[in-house]
Every structure is written in C-alpha cells, then in structure tokens.
Amino acid sequence: MSHHHHHSHHRPINASINKSFVIGIVLNALFVILEIGVGFYTNSLSLLSDAGHNLSDVGSLVISLFAFKLASIQPNTFFTYGYKKSTILATLVNAAFLFVSVGIMFWEAIGRLYHPQPIQSIPVAIVAGVGIIVNSISAFLFFKEKDKDINIRGAYLHLLADAMVSLGVVIGGIAIYFTQQFWLDAVISIVIGLIILVGTFQLLKDSVRLSLDGVPQNVRYEAVKETVKGLNGVADLHHIHVWAISTTENAMTAHLVVSNASTHEEILALKAAIKNELHHLNIHHITLEVEFERDICDGREC
C-alpha cells in the first residue's frame, strides 16, 4: 500500500473582496438606519420589513467576512485543516437567520391584513428608491467573484434580491398613493418574504449539504470516477469520498487499483496525472491509497 496526498493551497480572501464586504456592510447599515426611521415615521410595514431584511443582510455580510478571516488562519495540531469550514457554517447560520426573519415578517404582515393602517406612501417610495441604488451598488461589488464561493454568491444574490424588493416597495408606494388601499402595504411585505424564501432555499440546501460533508455542487461525482478510470494504468477506483473543506476548497480520498505490472515510477506518473485531472474538476486536496489488482477479490480487498 502507498499513499499520495496533494495540497493545492489557495490564497485566502483577497483584498478586493475584503474591501467589498466592508463597503457593503457600511452602505447597508446606513440604509437600514434610514429605512427604520422613515418606516416608523410613515407607519409602513413594507419599509420596516425591508429594513429588517437589510439588517439581516448586514449581519450576513459581517458573519461571512469574519468566517473568511478565520479561514485564513494556519492549521494547527487541533484543527489540521485550520478554520476553513467556518465559511460553510457561516452560510448555514445566514440562511437559517433569514428564514427566522421572514417568519417574523409574515406574522406582522398577516396582522396588518386584518387591520390595515394608513401610511405616507410617497416618503416610502423615495426611501425604497434609495434602496435600489444602495443594493445595486453593493451587489455589483461581488459580481466578479460570485461564482467562486458560495458565501460570495449568497451575498450577491441577497443584495440583488434586495434591489428588486426595493423596486417592489416603490411600485407599492405609488399604487397606495393613487388608490389609498393601505392593505397593499401588508401584501407587499408578504411578496417580499416569498422572494427572500425562494432565494434563500437553495442557499440553505447547499450549506446543509456541505455541513454534512456531501459532495459539493461544483463537483460531479460520476465525472470524477469516469475521468480517473479512463486514464491508462488505472484498473479501478473505489471507496471514493468527496467533501468540502471550505466554501472554496474540496477534498477527496479514494482507493486506486493499478495493474500488477505497474512500476514505482509508473505509479508516481499516474498519481501526477490524476492530480492534474482532478484539479480541473474542482478537487484540491487528494489522498489516494494504491492497491494492486492481485489484492482485489470480487471487487473487495482480499
């Protein structure tokens, strides 16, 4: 038996993303203060609901930034992978927190449906218009990196959704101004909640899967098997386990079966080829246990 372990060390969160998080946190925190103030002044539940969601986004950005900082800490004897998995836990916490905030939003909105209250619709529409600008700018900060990390993707999608939600509040405010149908405020809050739920469900699903060491979404399990087994010198590949170390790095362990005639040099070359192929399939930490065909009986180790 022989073992091969490959580490492809990735740089931690870069300076531009770090700056994006800080700018996003500051912009949205200031906007939340504005929304809460105007929301209470105008008695607008839709504006307060949007403020609550934006506040949760600020919390999400802070948690994600903190997780990225933890992930850059070097491994030690207690945490041999470092704190990389904190990025996965951050995504899970953020998704769960969003579900709770939406539940509170629905509860308040249903109460307002039964007891509509008058609101000052024009100030609501103006503040929501500011929200479109703030959230669009914040989302743009994460656009380039959104496909590289689930946390960054989550931040981008939430901020983009917030911009659309603010657009809805603007439309609602104008509609209330012309119709004086104040129950529309509660309906808009429910629609906002449904939009958030749709955007959050996939994020929750992905974060739960990564937390349970499921195969990451950016790795195709069957493609890994087919690619390795298609290389010359590989007789079989089994006992395959693929999981995420963080939201950007994946790992794999497997038993590699080679022909009985394989030399040490051929095995080393084969390992290098496998390492290269798997890197292109988004697997960065690879451990292979080598077995010879003579050691396999009916698909099992003799």
What tens digit of pLDDT does each residue of 4-30 get?
444 444 444 566 677 888 888 999 899
Give the tens place of pLDDT for each residue, 227-271. 999 998 888 998 999 999 988 889 999 999 988 877 889 889 999
**Domain locations in the chain as residue ranges:** 13-211, 216-301
Please give the mean pLDDT across all residues of the chain.
83
What digits encode the pLDDT tens for the residues 228-238?
Answer: 999 988 889 98
Query: Under CATH, domain 13-211 is a member of which superfamily?
Result: Cation efflux protein transmembrane domain (1.20.1510.10)
Longest dimension (CA), the chain: 84
pTM: 0.73
Fold of 216-301: Alpha-Beta Plaits (3.30.70)
pLDDT at 214: 92
Percent over 70 (pLDDT), the chain: 92
pLDDT at site 7: 46
13-211 matches 216-301 in fold: no
Q: Are 154 and 56 in contact (CB under 8 A)?
A: no
Q: What is the mean pLDDT of residues 139-149?
A: 80
- Does residue 121 carry a pLDDT above 70? yes
Tell me which of 7-11, 67-71, 73-77, 188-192 is least confident: 7-11
Q: Are 150 and 247 in contact (CB under 8 A)?
A: yes
Supply the pLDDT for residue 75: 85
Q: Phi/psi of residue 54, each to 5°?
A: -65, -35
